[in-house]
Amino acid sequence: LAKTTQPISMDSYEGQEVNITCSHNNIATNDYITWYQQFPSQGPRFIIQGYKTKVTNEVASLFIPADRKSSTLSLPRVSLSDTAVYYCLVVGAGSYQLTFGKGTKLSVIP
Amino acid sequence: DTAVSQTPKYLVTQMGNDKSIKCEQNLGHDTMYWYKQDSKKFLKIMFSYNNKELIINETVPNRFSPKSPDKAHLNLHINSLELGDSAVYFCASSPPTELWGETQYFGPGTRLLVL
């Protein structure tokens, strides 16, 4: 079961690019990586998912190196509304294993 | 037209009581989940249901029992409530794909306080 480790918190100024890294040293061959965003008093919201290399959507990019032991969520030009907790999730495809990280609290400063 | 809904939003009750939290999704998803988020904000999966079959049960006490009357509903029953059960409980669902647990849609949460 791949456990994940993330920084507890990060601060960033508005307009900057933010990179949040998640470590998952024991990731298995069939596991894939998903990131969620959670605002206070709300349920988590899906941001992006990937298996290897780079994935990009309208919200973020996800970088996964060849060894897949870590992944980096990249948020371009953050705004105050991006202040939230970001969770890294490793899902074991076909094995019904699912582990949320402890989350990174991102604070965007004006 | 809420995708994943939970009732009630808030639940305050006494120790020893039995309570239920309801969850409904109108997304046509096959898999539904229950999560517990404690005061430290750790989000832990409790149950997962796929086509009315329990897939995983993450060592939660047997006082907790999920019940799925149909594919669109997954209710959580809690017997003999304890102080440590106080938390926010989230329901989620995901579409039928080859990747279990992919792209989950979460409900707004039910805030349970046990006195």
Residues 66-95 of A with CB under 8 A from B: 85, 87, 89, 91-94
CA distance B87 to chain A (A): 12
Query: What percentage of chain B has pLDDT greater than the value 70?
Result: 94
Per-residue pLDDT of chain A (110 residues; tens, 9 = 90+): 568 899 999 999 999 999 999 999 988 888 889 999 999 989 999 999 999 999 999 999 999 999 999 999 999 999 999 999 999 988 876 666 676 778 999 999 99
Average pLDDT over residues B72-85: 95
Predicted pLDDT of residue B98: 61
What is the C-alpha separation between B87 and B106, in angstroms, rounded? Answer: 16
Is pLDDT at B96 greater than 90 in this prediction? no
Q: Choose among B4, B56, B107: nearest Cβ to A96.
A: B56
- The CATH homologous superfamily for domain A9-109 is Immunoglobulins (2.60.40.10)
- CB contacts, 8 Å: B56 with chain A: 96, 98
Predicted pLDDT of residue A96: 67
Average pLDDT over residues B8-25: 97
Is pLDDT at B69 greater than 80 in this prediction? yes
| Mean pLDDT rounded to a whole number for chain B | 90
What is the C-alpha separation between B46 and B57, in angstroms, rounded? Answer: 6
Which structural domains are found in chain B, ordered by start? 4-114 (2.60.40.10)
Asked if B32 contacts B44 with a C-beta cutoff of 8 angstroms, the reply is: no
Is pLDDT at B58 greater than 80 in this prediction? no
Is pLDDT at B52 greater than 80 in this prediction? no
- CB contacts, 8 Å: B104 with chain A: 36, 44, 46
Domain chopping of chain A, boundaries: 9-109
Quick one: tokens of A47?
Answer: 């941001």
What is the C-alpha separation between A82 and A75, in angstroms, rounded? Answer: 9
User: Residues of B at the A interface (Cβ-Cβ below 8 Å)?
Assistant: 4, 41-45, 48, 55-56, 90, 92, 98-109
Predicted pLDDT of residue A100: 74
Quick one: tokens of A28?
Answer: 């298995």
Residue of A25 and B42 predicted with greater confidence: A25
Predicted pLDDT of residue A95: 64
Predicted pLDDT of residue B95: 85
Asked if B25 contacts B72 with a C-beta cutoff of 8 angstroms, the reply is: yes
